């Protein structure tokens, strides 16, 4: 069943709704999104390798979780829903900041144009990744991420590079 997501203006005010895939076609439509970074007690962040089965940006490393609230769903509820769906756990999360970006995926021809809300939280358990969403996962230190971004930035999603730059510098 297709998901309907929230289209927004440059101030994150809702302006309509669109089926998720259509919101990413033909240059995309600005829509509400979120990104989550989970850290353990050692300060490492939980990364995921997006499944190659994803419609866009598959096979790239990214932050812990990224997705969209659905029509009628509060942002806070969506963040916790996706963390449970993708990694099998839930924790308290705090919104840190938000930003707008636009990125084209040359492989799929789809575009992410998002008003992205960034959340962080802490977890020291063992994740239970959803194999339909995540091909690999790992804990990485700030230094490891920065080093990998310098050596091969194309291994990471566009939005995660922006998030890591702001969070780690």
Alpha helices in 11-157 (DSSP H): 20-23, 75-87, 142-151
Contact 118, 100 (CB under 8 A): no
User: Which of the following is catalytic: 18, 86, 112, 114?
Assistant: 114
Q: Is 133 a catalytic residue?
A: no
Count of CB atoms situated within 10 Å of the CB of 143: 11
User: Which of the following is catalytic: 18, 66, 86, 112?
Assistant: 66
Q: Is 85 a catalytic residue?
A: no
Q: What is the 3-state secondary structure (H, E, C) of 154-168?
A: HHECHHHHHHHHHHH
Report the C-alpha gap between 48 and 30 in whole angstroms: 24
Q: Angle at CA 69, nearest 5°, toward 64 and 116?
A: 60
Report the C-alpha gap between 57 and 59 in whole angstroms: 7
List the catalytic residues: 66, 114
């Amino acid at each position: 069943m297709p998901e309907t997501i929230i289209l927004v203006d440059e101030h994150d005010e809702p302006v309509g709704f669109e089926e998720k895939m259509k919101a990413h076609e033909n240059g995309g439509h600005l829509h509400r999104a979120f990104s989550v970074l989970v850290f353990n007690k050692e300060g490492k962040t939980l990364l995921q390798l997006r499944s190659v089965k994803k419609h866009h940006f598959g096979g790239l490393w990214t932050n812990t979780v990224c997705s969209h609230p659905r029509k009628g769903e509060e942002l806070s509820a969506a963040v916790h829903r996706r963390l449970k769906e993708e990694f099998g756990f839930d924790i308290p999360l705090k919104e840190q900041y938000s930003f707008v970006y636009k990125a084209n995926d040359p492989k799929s021809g789809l575009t992410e144009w998002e008003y992205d809300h960034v959340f962080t939280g802490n977890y020291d358990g063992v994740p239970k990744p959803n194999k339909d969403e995540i091909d690999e996962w790992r804990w990485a230190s700030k230094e490891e991420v920065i080093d990998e971004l310098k050596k091969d930035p194309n291994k990471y999603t566009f939005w995660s590079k922006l998030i890591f730059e702001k969070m780690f510098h």
